[in-house]
Structure 1
């Protein structure tokens, strides 16, 4: 139910549908990984696999990047993932950063929030960027990895058959009219094909959870305005009585306006231009925006809070909207899917490269189902406030909004609960690595296993050359990373031997030495925590070791760490 008007200020590339050389209608080459769906999740996964040297094929039904108004907010966590994939620079150059927002009840401001952001951060807490731009930036990077990532445009999946010996065969149709039918075999298939997943339906799987009756009209407009980038929410505004309105600024003078429909409004009629234009104009009038504007896109959105029970089914894995549907409030949709791809990418890469048991992929399901339920919990709370599902919820919201201007204690109830990194507190990997680590002295604070590392400014001291100011996330790549606290020359040999052993086994690994203050006379490279902030945040002292997974989550930590303990933890993780 979408109607485009003025084109987006964006020129998309279009690609022909082509098939490989076939033998009796089959692609004779068995692919290691077939990714169904070339949106942000599918492309992020392909790039994560490419960073480990794993080939994949992206199967996309369209002839280019998406159109219309979809995801627009990219979180700091997603930017950290893009940083490890080497694409974050383009996102920061194009996106509009923001740190908070304001909420209004009728004509009064009742709440203002600010997301965590200080001088230690290397990335903004959020940027606004339209999904077609997100996809284009990822596609640019995909095309730079053409040796490892193959894209099959205008290709639809019509069926899938899992094979007794492992792997699956995909039935495909390619071309603008789906006129070429063929089949492809893959060792692993990842369904990133969205909320109407063909793969999910073909396997007879169903999402479970809650569907909300409330609907929002989503309108993209072109408007030249110098207004700052922030999240704006209007409850029962004079311009649209009884409605809730959300406003986001995007690059290229595009603005997104979402407004709630009343229960008695017909969604078909609601997207008619004669009904949309006056309501948008009234919103802009109330904001004091007097410039000329043009409509670009109109659609209707309905909130869902749904998930599969498991994300691995034999040789088929699910990610993004194919695995879960999260309400837009709190911007968890695309961001949670990108996190899925990051989690699955390193694990599937390890399995394909033969350095991990396929059982490692079960931990992907365990961790990301847990994360989905956390996201759904937060998303449902936000949805119940933004679009009250019953008279009781509506009454509660009206009371909170009415009191918020004069009573600060109730204002947190208006908080949109923006997306944040989920800690895998019950991950089987925590248990496996913990058993291998043995029992260490208790940490008073710091990120426990399963938690994402915090950010911190540091100073890198190479063997030769000038020192370089960096951040902690700059030390993380598509590999396991050991953070060694304190320079201990007696242990250097053991760590160097571990590095060689893991390299021979094909296990991506890097060890980094961090010291408090500075050591100008040190003979080898290290990273200086000049202020001691990182030591404090991680409750670290000399000989402390943190072992970090390729997705930036802590795998294990030791008060008195060693190369041997690190090796045991890695072995337990990869053979879980």
Structure 2
């Protein structure tokens, strides 16, 4: 079967290699942050730093955004991060939202799952969007921050040396080996962040190794062009008639691109398996079994092997690791790019605080603590999914066959088929979590370390009228104190003055902070604000107060990455200031 390949429906921009003005082969300006790797993780980190006014240089070996089939699913958590960066609209416009999926065993549907989605949510649980589109949306925003983000295309790191006095010297090579102007040059940076992928050059130069599990099973990944009206959902086929003994995953992407992943049997040669003459009939059989009769064309073929690996620490002196350079997560459950974006979000605010001189460098150790913990959580879920999708032994295969055979008639075993999609990780044991004598008085609500839940509120527009908003609309790249249930009362003047003084003091010290007052309101009256003239948002049904177990005076302190730092039944400005001081300056 011969089918001509088509290009992706995307035309990337290409950029030349440019070397800054050098003095004796060295960039004379020390960079606050050098980010090695211009994929989704490196770009997200650069934007997170820029939102805090921190300059960075982004070093990318290629001359454009990526090509081929890589990450394709962006989670709600990642969308929340993009929302705080002010770039989520492009992702929602381009991506295909989905809420669940179905699994089949041979000819029968045996499991259907739905991710959390209700009226309180402002964002879908997942969107499908190709990595080249993800990178282009991020790059468009980076180019709007050119004063703070310097992108060095076609530039590779060839050596790194950490200096005793702090910082590092990078040896770089710009251009291609065929370019006669290609030559080594050096750059100094106070901090270096390795976002350079699973084959990290920085990791190799420092002699670091990933540890964990590598699976023998291999998957062929095929992107095709197919015009179809089928709904967007995650489809999994176990031992399908179209591909006996294998597992097949199917995802619909924007622009009529479909991704099909199928498992190779143990007796198949991986090199032969990716030859078009062997791939095309298997793809056609998958489409036939799905009832897809439209014309299609191949775009891309590659092969994938699952790994569950991580570094033991993500900070090594002035060098930090993020994304695939720090950990490799199996694709099942779509944790790869999403966990890397979460790395960038966590590191971005902490590194920004350190560079801006408002936090001790010890804060960066908490980045390693929290994200290594998150990696182990993600690896645990990813390994369970991998062992079900591609059984590594006869025992696992026997267990999977039994589960799939029983699932059609016995609902109790169906959850074992759950793909365990990625979700926000709570830092339950973070060194930043502030425990107090008041912690145990909360019967519910997000505890320190948890991600702030989404919920509906009423806000005020420019004319003072109430409008529907969500809690995440109120968050930015700053610490946020949510102060609940305040009622107007002349006796509160002293407290109000104390809060204003706190905001003034923090602003004077360069600490990004915002106080959000959440009042109660009559849901039947959409215009009157007499009951809460100084609230920033309103909880008309009381549901948000109940969700947070809040009463008048309750305060939740939120980190810039949306995790709860501390909470108090009766929060006072002095307690908030003490918590911020402990976070930024004294972590011992």
Name the TM-score, length of structure 2 as normaliser.
Answer: 0.96
Who is 1:373 aligned against? 376
Unaligned runs of 5+ in 2: 523-527
- Are residues 1:68 and 2:68 paired? yes
Who is 1:565 aligned against? 575
For residues 151 and 4 of structure 1, what CA distance do their matches in structure 2 show?
36
For residues 198 and 462 of structure 2, what CA distance do their matches in structure 1 show?
51
- Are residues 1:205 and 2:215 paired? no
Q: Give the conservation status (yes or no) of the 8 Å contact 1:233–1:246.
A: yes
- Are residues 1:387 and 2:390 paired? yes
State the SS of the aligned residue for 2:265. coil
Who is 1:546 aligned against? 556
- Are residues 1:53 and 2:53 paired? yes
Out of 235, 257, 260, the position equivalent to 1:257 is 260
For residues 4 and 475 of structure 1, what CA distance do their matches in structure 2 show?
50
For residues 318 and 384 of structure 2, what CA distance do their matches in structure 1 show?
35
For residues 526 and 348 of structure 1, what CA distance do their matches in structure 2 show?
30
For residues 398 and 358 of structure 1, what CA distance do their matches in structure 2 show?
51
For residues 527 and 246 of structure 1, what CA distance do their matches in structure 2 show?
43
CA deviation profile, 1:487-506 (whole Å, cap 9, x unmatched): 25332111111110000000
- Are residues 1:42 and 2:51 paired? no
Closer, same or farther: CA 330–486 of 1 in aligned 2, 3 Å: same
User: How far off is 1:100 after superposition?
Assistant: 0.1
User: How far off is 1:520 after superposition?
Assistant: 2.4
CA deviation profile, 1:434-465 (whole Å, cap 9, x unmatched): 3xx55455210111000001110100136852
For residues 34 and 353 of structure 1, what CA distance do their matches in structure 2 show?
15
Closer, same or farther: CA 382–504 of 1 in aligned 2, 3 Å: same
Who is 1:511 aligned against? 515
Who is 1:186 aligned against? 189
Who is 1:528 aligned against? 538
Matches within 5 A, 1:300-449: 300-430=303-433, 433-434=434-435, 437=436, 439-440=438-439, 442-449=441-448
- Are residues 1:5 and 2:8 paired? no
- Are residues 1:116 and 2:120 paired? no
Who is 2:497 aligned against? 493
Out of 282, 291, 301, the position equivalent to 1:279 is 282
Q: How many residues align?
A: 570
User: How far off is 1:180 after superposition?
Assistant: 2.1
Who is 2:22 aligned against? 22
User: How far off is 1:468 after superposition?
Assistant: 2.1
For residues 318 and 237 of structure 1, what CA distance do their matches in structure 2 show?
40
Who is 1:239 aligned against? 242
CA deviation profile, 1:141-172 (whole Å, cap 9, x unmatched): 00000010000000001110000000000010
Who is 1:480 aligned against? 479
Closer, same or farther: CA 4–52 of 1 in aligned 2, 3 Å: farther
User: How far off is 1:536 after superposition?
Assistant: 1.2
Q: Give the conservation status (yes or no) of the 8 Å contact 1:102–1:232.
A: yes
State the SS of the aligned residue for 2:207. coil
Who is 1:555 aligned against? 565
Matches within 5 A, 1:111-150: 111-150=111-150
State the SS of the aligned residue for 1:13. coil
Who is 2:456 aligned against? 457
State the SS of the aligned residue for 1:104. strand
Closer, same or farther: CA 548–4 of 1 in aligned 2, 3 Å: farther
Name the TM-score, length of structure 1 as normaliser.
Answer: 0.98
State the SS of the aligned residue for 1:469. strand
CA deviation profile, 1:465-486 (whole Å, cap 9, x unmatched): 2222110001110000000002
State the SS of the aligned residue for 1:218. strand
For residues 46 and 306 of structure 2, what CA distance do their matches in structure 1 show?
29
> Cα RMSD (Å) of the superposition?
1.3
For residues 66 and 81 of structure 1, what CA distance do their matches in structure 2 show?
21
Q: Give the conservation status (yes or no) of the 8 Å contact 1:320–1:340.
A: yes
User: How far off is 1:525 after superposition?
Assistant: 3.8
